[in-house]
Amino acid sequence: MLALALKLGLAPVHFWLPEVLQGLELTTGLILSTWQKLAPFALMIQTAPTINSSLLVAIGLLSTLVGGWGGLNQTQLRKILAYSSIAHLGWMVLILQFAPSLTLLSLSLYIIMTSSAFLTLKTNNALTINTLATSWTKSPTLAALAALVLLSLGGLPPLSGFMPKWLILQELTKQGLPLSATLAAMTALLSLYFYLRLCYALTLTIYPNTLTATA
């Protein structure tokens, strides 16, 4: 289980993922964040019935917490997306043993949303929060699309990223784990905060003019 968690970048063996993703270009980072997750996740789904459910819930909750907390003080977009990946995979592992179909739904939506985020950032040529502020002047349509994708990744209703979180919380409550559901929902607020910060930089600010006025 820990070996598969290391491959997926789940907490507490997640330390390699933000640093590696930060050193990659956006296209390669996209492959690392999506395609590379499929093989270990397939193995994890097959071995989940034999794993202690308390261990899976603990790893899932820890990953959602680390993913939300770690992204708060980041300015590099690739590191923010890395912590986002850790948080999303934590949600999937949290529900893995109780409802594998929900895990597959979450994984599918995560791949779609993450691919959209990486591709829009690549089109905008944005690597830090500061460079996001110039995106609006280059292409307002693309900037608005990027904002929607980021809010969807954060799980803000009524966007599609909210649906798997809602269904997972509902299933956890049915399984008699209201405390785990509450903790997961609280950690989701941390992730939502840094996505809202990105959207603020993307859409609601004017890039500062540093040129000195000439007489």
- Model confidence at 196: pLDDT above 50: yes
**Which tokens belong to 127?**
């690597």
DSSP code at position 214: P
Residues paired with 186 in a beta bridge: none
pTM of the model: 0.87
- Model confidence at 143: pLDDT above 90: no
17-75 pLDDT, tens digit each? 989 998 888 889 999 989 988 999 899 889 888 888 888 889 999 999 999 898 888 88
DSSP code at position 75: -
**Which tokens belong to 26?**
């956006």
100-115 pLDDT, tens digit each? 899 999 999 999 999 9
pLDDT higher for 146 or 93? 93
- Tokens 């809010």, residue located: 151
Q: Is 177 helix (H, G, I), strand (E, B) or coil?
A: coil
Q: Where are the domains of the chain?
A: 1-204
Q: What is the pLDDT of residue 206?
A: 58
The stretch 167-183 carries a mean pLDDT of 90
**Calpha distance 100→15 (Å, rounded):** 26
For residues 119 and 148, the answer to whether their CB atoms sit within 8 Å is: no
